[in-house]
Structure 1
Amino acid sequence: MSALFPKSASKTMVSLAEVRSHNSTLKNLAPGLVAVFVGGTSGISLYTAQEFARNTTSPHIYLIGRNETEAERIQKELKTINSSSTIDFIKKDVSLLRKVDEACKEIKEKEKKINLLFMTIGAMTFKGRTETEEGLDRKFALHYYARMRFIQNLAPLLTAAATDADPKASLSRVVSVYDPFIGKDKQPNFDDLSLKNNFSLGTCAAHASAMQNFALERFARLYPQTSFIHEQPGAVETGLAKSWALKPLYFLLRPLMVGKKESGERHLFASTAPRYAPRSKAEEKGVVVGADGVQGSGHYHLSYSGEADGESKISAELRKDRAEEKIWNHTEEVYKKVCDENGKY
């Protein structure tokens, strides 16, 4: 539900005019930028892929999803937007971590570098814990475990892009569209991080948010030439609007919602703007404060309007209590059991 209730924009919000001015300069970047959109056949990923195709030169776009019929339509649409673009579709159910690995393997066999990893995968459900064959809740797997596995697998290709000899080809960014604010002031249950025994929809949302926050902070430190963004998208019409349960809510919110094109434009800005620089470029002009309160830390919490949010008191306390280490040790334990041992967590 986070996509329906945006964090209030402040006076530091990025204007749409500024967004469009920046996006219009992206054709000055090197041709052939590579972008991977996980969840790219609908909603925010699709709107952003459209703007990426529109504003870059000869991009190579990967769409990862389950709907092959829709993907074929989108491939034609993106080629119409930009005839010089290359569009590949990878059909995978990435609620399964082993399918994430398969998707990444396909990409790594074709590409030596990736400039943008953009992820919006998720599941809107009012059901309780729904366990996959790998022993994880499907919603939680999409909102946390699968996303972090994509980053872990593709980090070397993101680093390769960052270290390209041509500075116009060195964009290297990860954008995870979920909601950094749900879990920013909440403490995860460290005795049951996978929520096998303490699952509720609210707890799942808070865990996925908090665990992403700390995992992305870790990635920003390990890969200082790539920037990592955890963003709340605001109220945007996505595939969820087709749900019978949510149609009335979307109807009531329509006057407050961000349009599809504006959403794509704003997410393209978040995916490329220098103000959200990697840690290695923290000293450059205009770089904003990171999620840990440090300017240019390489990990940013953004509202839908591009406003960067700094440290919270609870996050600072959790950091001192080794929250990042505890969360990542658990994550590695899951990956080892499921991906390395082909087992069930």
Structure 2
Amino acid sequence: MVNLKTVQTHNASLKTLAPGLVAVFVGGTSGIGLSTAREFVRNTRSPHVYLIGRNEAEANKLISELGILNPESQTTFIKSDISLLKNVDKACQEISAKEKKVNLLFMTAGYFTFNGRQETSEGLDQKFSLHYYARARFIKNLLPLLDTAANNRDENANLSRVVSVLDPHASVRALGAGALNYSDLSLKNSFSLKNCAAHASAMNNFYMEKLAKSHPGTSFIHAYPSAVKTGVARGLDPISSKVWVALTSLMKPFMVDLGESGERHLYASTAKVFAAMKETADYAAVGSDGTKGSGSYWLNWDDDVLPFSKKLAKLREEGAGEKIVQHTEEVFKKVCEEKQTYP
């Protein structure tokens, strides 16, 4: 565990970075996204923050709050249902029209449900889309701006980082097999909540691990949030809501404070120990592939690197990264370019 005082000291030091850092928070109007955005605004100079979500009323309150927290900050809300990839593209186009760089892409969008597959008009499951496809699309669309930030010659302005908050070890927790159904990666014919969690987790892992190699100036982090009180269960039916309340009551002694979670995720989003591959720094942590400073990191809630998993290493040996990238590009081509449903 990284000591909380260490985290807070590091975050306070971000004021030494160049002013005008740009951060995009996908799912930033509640929960961990909001908490991390708040810490980003508190600890940086003249930041420009984009909050992407659906709750405009809540966003307007947050914009006022962040403006008071840091009067030099600028916050822009983009209202969007990003379970649809076409809406992800629109949001990214709006950002790209205004910004020349993005220093941080931070993604927490998702929701909790007891329901089965809920297919969107694009042919993808809604939950799966939020937990993986939309996140991958944000990365792909904003990589040119992340590359620009990475190539800034000023070391105080070249922060370039992607953070996806989900769970790198979801497919192997509770004795999970850690396997992928390569013949049905989108789970069109084999959907279950368990399979969705496993696929979304592993696909976040290896999609970003592959990008870390092709974009060596940007570091990619997949972080486990642990149990945190957020709005993830909003929209549950009355019976499911009661079940959720009971579960959270049982978990309360083990839950991470939302404020601390925001502090820790800001640390993960900015600490030099999670260096991009091109930095080849001695101080860099061990990356997801077991290589120090690989540019791809799988983190626990406390900012420690998660332990090595033989099952996930086996997926890498099977060529999971290449297969996931190929599948993802097929989905993007079908849905975003050809404007058809997948498959």
Structure 2 Cα separation of the partners of residues 310 and 163 of structure 1: 31
| Residue identity opposite 2:98 in structure 1 | K
One of 264, 267, 273 as aligned partner of 1:266: 264
Q: Is the 8 A contact 2:112 2:233 kept in 1?
A: no
Shift of 1:22: 0.5
Q: Counterpart in 2 of 1:275?
A: 273
One of 254, 258, 262 as aligned partner of 1:256: 254
One of 178, 181, 203 as aligned partner of 1:186: 178
Asked if residue 93 in structure 1 is aligned to residue 81 in structure 2, the reply is yes
Q: Counterpart in 1 of 2:33?
A: 45
Q: Counterpart in 2 of 1:317?
A: 314
Q: Counterpart in 1 of 2:47?
A: 59
Asked if residue 73 in structure 1 is aligned to residue 80 in structure 2, the reply is no
SS in 1 for 2:156: helix
Structure 2 Cα separation of the partners of residues 338 and 23 of structure 1: 40
SS in 1 for 2:76: strand
Structure 2 Cα separation of the partners of residues 273 and 122 of structure 1: 25
Structure 2 Cα separation of the partners of residues 167 and 206 of structure 1: 37
Shift of 1:321: 2.1
Q: Counterpart in 1 of 2:200?
A: 208
Cα root mean square deviation, aligned? 1.2
Segments of 5+ residues of structure 1 without an aligned counterpart are: 1-12
Do the aligned partners of residues 252 and 320 (structure 1) sit closer, same or farther apart at CA in structure 2, a change above 3 Å counting?
closer
Structure 2 Cα separation of the partners of residues 262 and 169 of structure 1: 26
Structure 2 Cα separation of the partners of residues 120 and 272 of structure 1: 17
| Residue identity opposite 1:316 in structure 2 | A
Structure 2 Cα separation of the partners of residues 130 and 221 of structure 1: 34
**TM-score, normalising length: structure 1:** 0.94
Structure 2 Cα separation of the partners of residues 201 and 227 of structure 1: 29
Structure 2 Cα separation of the partners of residues 178 and 147 of structure 1: 11
Structure 1 Cα separation of the partners of residues 203 and 253 of structure 2: 33
Structure 1 Cα separation of the partners of residues 171 and 119 of structure 2: 22
Q: Is the 8 A contact 1:64 1:89 kept in 2?
A: yes
Structure 1 Cα separation of the partners of residues 262 and 294 of structure 2: 25
Q: Is the 8 A contact 2:46 2:73 kept in 1?
A: yes
Asked if residue 217 in structure 1 is aligned to residue 209 in structure 2, the reply is yes
Sequence identity (%) = 58
Structure 2 Cα separation of the partners of residues 251 and 332 of structure 1: 41
Q: Counterpart in 1 of 2:237?
A: none
One of 192, 209, 232 as aligned partner of 1:240: 232
One of 99, 107, 121 as aligned partner of 1:133: 121
Alignment of 1:286-297 (within 5 A): 286-297=283-294
Shift of 1:339: 0.1
Q: Counterpart in 2 of 1:331?
A: 328
Structure 2 Cα separation of the partners of residues 322 and 234 of structure 1: 29
One of 165, 168, 172 as aligned partner of 2:153: 165
